[in-house]
Homo-oligomer: A and B are copies of this chain.
Amino acid sequence: MSSQERLVESARALLWERGYVGTSPKSIQQRAGAGQGSMYHHFAGKHELALAAIRRTAEEMRAAAETQLSAPGTALERITAYLRRERDVLKGCPVGRLTQDPDVMADPALRAPVEETFAWLRDRLTRVLDAGRDAGELDRALDPAATAAAIVAVLQGGYVLARASGTADSFGQAVSGVLALLAGHAVAPAE
């Protein structure tokens, strides 16, 4: 890994562990094994480095979601695969957790990738549900955008339930609950 790469990865790890306010330029350099000169050669400072780190995290979340959501299968199958994907549930969502960092939320540049990622995810799920309606798999009365918002919320809230209970089971139960609700709107294929 280049020193630029190591600096971004160190900033990601520290943002996750200590939040923006708890992440000092010095701690990023130490973790990356890079000197101050190297850091300021690549980045204007902590803010630019944090932005690169947040953008990287957001890109990974999108790419991971896209893997299941663009796979072959019905809308319900793709959404099931996305929600059931293996996750480190007790750790939480790396992007969702940034919404709890007051310094990230108060900074429009740092907040932008968080906002865009959730907007993208909701839109992506809306398009999957739309395709399911168009293909006659899902009830036409279903509102794709509201349903997509509910699905993303279940995922984010599932992490909260898992942390509260100290077990990943509650995440799984919330996911099962919303999938069963959604299955009730599936249209049985004509025989």
- Contact surface of A with B, Cβ cutoff 8 Å: 96-97, 99-100, 105, 111, 114-115, 117-119, 122, 139, 141-143, 145-158, 160-161, 163-166, 170, 173-178, 180-182, 184-185
Taken together as a complex, chains A and B put the C-alpha atoms of A163 and B95 apart, in Å, by 12
Task: Please give, as numbers and ranges, the residues of chain B lying within 8 Å of A152 by CB-CB distance.
Answer: 157, 161, 174
User: Is A148 in contact with B161, judged by CB distance below 8 angstroms?
Assistant: no
* Cα distance, A118 to B146, chains bound together (Å): 25
Contact B146 A157 (CB under 8 A): no
Q: Which residues of B contact A164 (CB under 8 A)?
A: 96, 99, 114-115, 117-118
Q: Which of B118, B139, B143, B160 contacts A161 (CB 8 A)?
A: B118
